[in-house]
Structure 1
């Protein structure tokens, strides 16, 4: 931890939401010397017996690591993650085929959501200009004055005034409700027709049941299952499937029939009794994609993380994009001398197109993960793109590499991907056309002897007839 910079009259920053992005943001603002208070509706998860909320495993990649590095947290969090170097594709027959994520040495990290949140809260508390407030539910706030009213667990109320309110309170943000009351605020919310369900694959003889350095995928075209490794040698398996498919399965025997048909290799690893029990423990849970703009109101409030851009989890960028929000905002603060009246609109201008782009990419990648990875054309293009990237590393960069292993702005990565795709496809078309024209020219110049072609064909038919009659 670095000591906060000195400021005669430190501005007060209220971070609403003590989840991943809120806790990291608190570190960023405290490091700059602001007087920071964090307000979280839940109890302190570090003391909670049961941590409520989502538990889909997280995939930490370059953007998130860079954001953690800025506050000295990268090495600690990386040491608590498990590297995944490739996707491991499981066919219905049980065959396994790896698809590397990038070049040798490139990997994403499977990290535990609850543990990461705890580490970030603990780090935030090391700053002397930081105050944590748990069991504080936001009831109302003023975008004009920055006055906020919170309700405590015992029913009492607290009021606080802040120079800047940072809304990091998730996809169903209370802070964002004030934005919805204002004109010229764009907002869209889309629930996809697929839900998710989590299952656990226990260790076998104290070791991982499958190879741990992969993100395992069972693609089945209209649905899929994935598995990410945990430090306790378990795998968290997540089944993504249309809700109407979830609802068709109503008994334990139907669960087993379904898994026997589509995920047979997982049955002995998860266990028959566990499957029959855990499938009905919770219903399929919904996934929502949220876009909005602008991200700020005047110089008083700004949205970050899921409050600004909730995305479906299929590109593994939800947390990484939220963490990148923190570092982008900090970079703009540096450029504009912490002048909130200039920083907030610039943050909206810079960040909105990128967050909208990753929301769209996350939707696209679900189709890729559950269907395209089964396609020979997809695999051919994957190998071709990687080969061209090896030959022309500064000209051709695979989309996944740009998104996962660089900080190329999301919308620029999409633009470049579309340009590259057009160039490569045209090259393949010209190559195929040239081969056809060249072959036709050779045939015209050197026509084959038809008689010589017929003789072996007749001999072949005679031989086949002989075999058939005998």
Structure 2
């Protein structure tokens, strides 16, 4: 099938973008480029999950916050996505003794949303966008992308390739052949396993407007609500701990010891069955630089910066990639020879910063939230933010409820940490 000939004829007078990867970031990118008048071809290796009878694999629930909302807003999607999501105003901490207490995310009215709506349908509304499912990228040689089903797409100077094909990106492999391309991937020693908490009498088994967390120092479980009144429970734990639990009875014994209040909500029989339904999945953090190859190709989303899921920023950072790239195209008049290197310059330090913060936040979620000192520092941060709202802004607020650049938020956090510690120590010294 000579796809390249047909494609070239139909787009010979148009600006063309080939988006490889039709997930969240790829679909949103398609909307951005289509809105600017580009002819957009999206290639996704998987079948269209909207039509699939069985959806294979797993995914950690997605939390939409300010950065992602701003990216969606630019293409008119924010209200639709938010209206179909579930707001969460606080973390709800489940202690070992069964007591619960909330830790608000920010000021009154600030919340994050469990995202329960796809952006794929929005991309299809543009007449200049075509979604090609079950098209796995096999090769990229001499400006030609070759996909499964013997389909090839020849790319000339006017074409741009946007790699949005995930943490194990086939597009990024081409970058590895280039000189001075930096790349690292790190698997953390923890995996994740998903369980389902069913409704009780047709209603949520727990309060739905919270991110429920069972912090247990070296591991934790979280639960997020779904529209069907279930909760998706995700157990994060070192792989060697998973390997120590090998029978249904051991599963119940383990949950009785660490998550006793969850057993009647999930169901003992369901726990025994679902714990072994799929093995624990690995989590990887990916960093690379630069994000572009000449003026021909650019990486976005997990293809550029896969992060572990503990700050709830993976999707939001990917969506913000689309927004930042669009802003730079405005500034530089869509001149890709200038846009792509500028995008790398601006975005790399921010994405590396959120990758590090995601690693840090896992320790906070599974351990620090149990600490009275941590809760006291949270109280001090919030108090200082109230009396000095422009000077002291909690890290989580900067990351989740503003578009402060990630690396600048980290710098400010370190400075504020010193200021807060000086205030606390001074107060203790004076006996206040």
Q: With the length of structure 1 as denominator, give the TM-score of the two structures.
A: 0.88
Which of 142, 157, 163 pairs up with 1:167?
A: 163
Q: Counterpart of 1:127?
A: 126
**Matched position secondary structure for 1:210:** coil
Q: Distance in 1 between matches of 2:268 and 2:54?
A: 26
Q: Is the 8 A contact 1:146 1:165 kept in 2?
A: no
Conserved in 2, the CA contact under 8 Å of 1:111 and 1:230? no
1:65 alignment partner, SS class: helix
Paired residue for 2:197?
A: 201
Structure 1 regions of 5+ residues with no counterpart?
1-6, 437-470
Deviates more, 1:37-46 or 1:91-100: 37-46
Q: Distance in 1 between matches of 2:317 and 2:103?
A: 24
Counterpart-to-counterpart distance in 1, 2:408 and 2:13: 39
**TM score, norm. by length of structure 2:** 0.95
Q: If you compute each CA radius of gyration, which structure gives the higher value, 1 or 2?
A: 1
SS of the aligned residue for 2:418 comes to helix
Cα distance, 1:194 vs structure 2: 0.2
Q: Is the 8 A contact 2:305 2:355 kept in 1?
A: yes
1:103 aligns to 2:119 (yes or no): no
Which of these residues, 397, 408, 420, is aligned with residue 424 of structure 1? 420
Cα deviation for residue 94 of structure 1 reads: 0.4
Please state how far the C-alpha of 1:131 moved relative to its aligned partner.
1.3
What's the CA shift for 1:161? 2.0
Does residue 1:31 correspond to 2:25, yes or no?
no
C-alpha RMSD of matched pairs (Å): 1.3
Name 1:10's counterpart in structure 2.
14
> Is structure 2 residue 80 aligned with structure 1 residue 83?
no
The answer to whether residue 338 in structure 2 is matched with residue 342 in structure 1 is yes
Q: Distance in 2 between matches of 1:157 and 1:407?
A: 40
CA shift, 1:313, in A, is: 0.2
- The equivalent residue for 1:320 is 316
| Consecutive aligned runs of 4 or more in structure 1 exceeding 6 Å deviation | none
> Does the 8 A contact of 2:380 with 2:420 survive in 1?
no
Deviations 1:273-321 (A, max 9, x none): 0000000111111000000000000000000000000000000000000
CA contact (8 A) 1:85 1:214 kept: yes
Name the SS for the 1:411 alignment partner: helix
Q: CA deviation at 1:49?
A: 1.1
Q: Which residue in 2 is equivalent to 1:158?
A: 152
Give the one of 70, 73, 76 matched to 1:69. 73
Find the aligned partners of 2:99 and 2:409 in 1 and give their Cα distance: 33
Give the length in aligned residue pairs: 420
Q: Secondary structure at the match of 1:89?
A: strand
- 1:240 is aligned to 236
Deviations 1:242-269, CA, capped at 9 Å, x for gaps: 0000000011111011000100000000
Displacement of 1:435 after TM fit? 3.0
Select the residue among 290, 296, 306 that pairs with 1:294.
Answer: 290
Distance in 2 (alpha carbons) for counterparts of 1:301 and 1:293: 13
